[in-house]
Amino acid sequence: MKHTEKQSQPLQMTDPVCGMEVREGSEYRFSFAGAEYRFCSQHCKDTFAADPARYAEEAEEKPQMKHQHDAHCKSCESGHAVKQTVPVDGAEYTCPMHPEIRQDHPGPCPKCG
């Protein structure tokens, strides 16, 4: 089956507080020093707002925008995302929102999905 319509992937940004990837269209936003930051939740936005200089400085050291070239469907050349998670032996996986959750495999957080 060939898809005829290309779908664009929204750019991903990194929440400067917890490191979680956030869609560019996130409703949780905060402007500081001429830059606009996106957050995964109201909690992270409020944490950033309490000390924006701290998190903005850390965020400057890391790129804000991410785009995965290998996350597009190769079989139909469509732009829809293909989840590619490769488990690593001996790795411990955690949820950025619930660091107490620890698993030996990648996957959704049992608390927040």
- For the chain, the distance separating the N- and C-terminal CA atoms, rounded to the nearest angstrom, is 30
Give the per-residue pLDDT at 12: 78
Mean pLDDT of the residues in the chain: 73
Neighbours of 59 (CB within 10 A): 20
Evaluate if pTM is beyond 0.85: no
CA 51-52-55 angle, to 5 degrees, is 95
Other Cβ atoms less than 10 A from the Cβ of 54: the count is 13
Dihedral angle computed from the Cα positions of residues 110, 42, 36 and 93, in that order, rounded to the nearest 10 degrees:
-20
What pLDDT sits at residue 64?
A: 44
| pLDDT value at 62 more than 50 | yes
Max Cα separation, the chain?
A: 51
Q: Which of 31, 19, 94 is nearest to 58 (CA)?
A: 19
pLDDT digit string, tens, across residues 13-58 = 888 888 888 888 889 999 998 888 999 889 999 999 999 988 888 7
pLDDT cut 70: percent of the chain above it: 63
Residue 28: what pLDDT?
92
**Amino acid 30: pLDDT:** 92
- Residue 61 pLDDT class (50, 70, 90 cuts): low
Q: Please check the confidence at residue 69 and state whether its pLDDT lies above 50.
A: no
Helix (H, G, I), strand (E, B) or coil at 50: helix
